């Protein structure tokens, strides 16, 4: 079950759910469109081996999308983040999905990490891959993803952010912290 458009607006307006900045125009029937922020993380040493037992800090480099956009070549991978900061209450989980129009161009917006736990607060990091045969230009503030909100059957005993989670409060695209698991 997902929250409907009017439920999303009601929960944001009541202060129970934070999506900031929030524009009701971006609310869809069962989701909210999210915008691409201006920072990206690109692979620091393409082709270098990453051992998941020892992911090295600095495996990406922070860069910025300028006014001309960021051109992703076929096969490119970047980390990006949403403009919006979200804070989920204890009784909601979230799903980030790509926009279908971008998917039809071959742009994958999240490789695997589309689930957001109850209690999470921060910007959402996106794992963007160009799977198409064409270069694709990303633009600041473009609608990049959509957030669906899922009511929980009950409040979890262990909320995200209260159990030493690695990404609570993240700002900007955040590198993998797999080695901290």
Q: What pLDDT is attached to residue 164?
A: 57
Q: Is 82 domain-assigned? A: yes
Q: What pLDDT is attached to residue 165?
A: 59
Q: What pLDDT is attached to residue 145?
A: 97
Q: Is 114 domain-assigned? A: yes
Q: Is 171 domain-assigned? A: no
Q: What pLDDT is attached to residue 33?
A: 98
Q: Is 92 domain-assigned? A: yes
Catalytic residue among 67, 97, 127, 179: 127
Range of the domain at 39: 5-44+58-154
Number of Cβ within 10 Å of residue 176's Cβ equals 19
CATH code of the domain containing 70:
2.70.40.10
The candidate with the shortest Cα–Cα distance to 96, out of 75, 119, 112, is 112
Number of domains in the chain: 1
| Rounded Cα distance, 111 and 11, in Å | 29
**In contact, 129 and 77? CB cutoff 8 Å:** yes
Query: Which parts of the chain register pLDDT below 50?
Result: none
Determine whether 64 is an active site residue. Answer: no
Q: Is 125 domain-assigned? A: yes
């Amino acid at each position: 079950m997902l929250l409907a458009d009017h439920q999303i607006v009601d929960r944001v307006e009541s202060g129970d759910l934070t999506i900031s900045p929030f524009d009701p125009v971006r609310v869809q029937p069962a989701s909210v469109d999210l915008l691409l922020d201006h920072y990206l993380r690109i692979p620091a040493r393409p082709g270098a081996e990453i051992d998941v037992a020892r992911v090295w800090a600095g495996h990406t480099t922070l860069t910025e999308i300028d006014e001309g956009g960021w051109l992703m070549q076929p096969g490119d991978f970047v980390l990006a983040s949403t403009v919006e900061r979200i804070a989920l209450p204890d009784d909601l989980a979230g799903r980030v999905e790509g926009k279908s129009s971008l998917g039809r161009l071959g742009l994958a917006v999240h490789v695997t990490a589309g689930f957001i736990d109850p209690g999470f607060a921060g910007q959402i990091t996106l794992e963007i891959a160009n799977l198409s045969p064409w270069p694709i230009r990303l633009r600041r503030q473009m609608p990049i993803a959509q957030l669906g909100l899922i009511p929980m059957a009950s409040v979890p005993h262990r909320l995200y952010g209260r159990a030493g989670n690695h990404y609570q409060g993240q700002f900007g695209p955040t590198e993998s912290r797999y080695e901290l698991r």
